[in-house]
Structures are given as C-alpha cells and as structure tokens.
Amino acid sequence: PFMTDAWSGHACDLRDPVDDATEFLKVVAQKSAPLFSPMETLVLVNREALSPDKARQTYTVASADTVMEPDSHTIDDQLADFLDRPGEHDTTIVFVAGHGINI
C-alpha cells in the first residue's frame, strides 16, 4: 500500500519484517545461551509473509507449534498466556515489526 499524498506517496510496506524477527531471535538465542536456559518463543507472523524459505529460517529458531497467525484469538489468548509464564527471575523480550492494526 501507499501512503496518501500528505505523506509524500511513498510505499509503506515493510521490507523484511519476518527476516528481521528471525535474525533478532537467532542473535538472542546465540548470545543468551550461556546465561539463560531454556529459551521459550512465540512467533506471530502472517502466513502469507512466511514463504517456504522464510519458514525454514523461522523454524530453526522456533518450533512449528510456537509460530502462529496473529489473529485476535492468538493475540488475546496465546500472547497473554505466554506473557503470564515468566517468573520474577526470568527475562521477557518482545520484538515487534509491523505497522499495527486495530483488532
């Protein structure tokens, strides 16, 4: 999609949000391995953005059952459950790559 003329009409598509999130997750996993174990993940990604190549990359850092479509149910229930799990000595990181929408 393109922004209106008020925003100069430039494309507003993100270039590689799936790659950005996957790379971020890889780096966190590599750098935190000596400090934190195990690492739990929840990846919310639009299925149409997950090409076979991107899916392979994503599944190297997150198991298939933790990669989900970001619909209202997943955000309300799965994300809330995921964020309720950490204890007081755990570290939680949330990485967001997107424009955001109202759901």
State the CB neighbour count (10 A cutoff) for residue 39: 14
Q: Please determine, for residue 18, whether its predicted confidence score (pLDDT) is greater than 70.
A: yes
Classify residue 93: in a domain, yes or no.
no
pTM for this predicted structure: 0.66
Classify residue 94: in a domain, yes or no.
no
Count up the domains in the chain and report the number: 1
Classify residue 31: in a domain, yes or no.
yes
Cα maximum dimension of the chain: 50
Classify residue 103: in a domain, yes or no.
no
DSSP string, 41-90: --EE--GGG--HHHHHHHHTTS-GGGEE---HHIIIIIIHHHHHS--TT-
Domain that holds residue 44: 15-84
Pick from 9-13, 38-42, 87-91, 95-99 the range whose average pLDDT is largest. 87-91
* Mean pLDDT across 57-75: 83
Q: The tokens 């997943």 sit on which residue?
A: 74
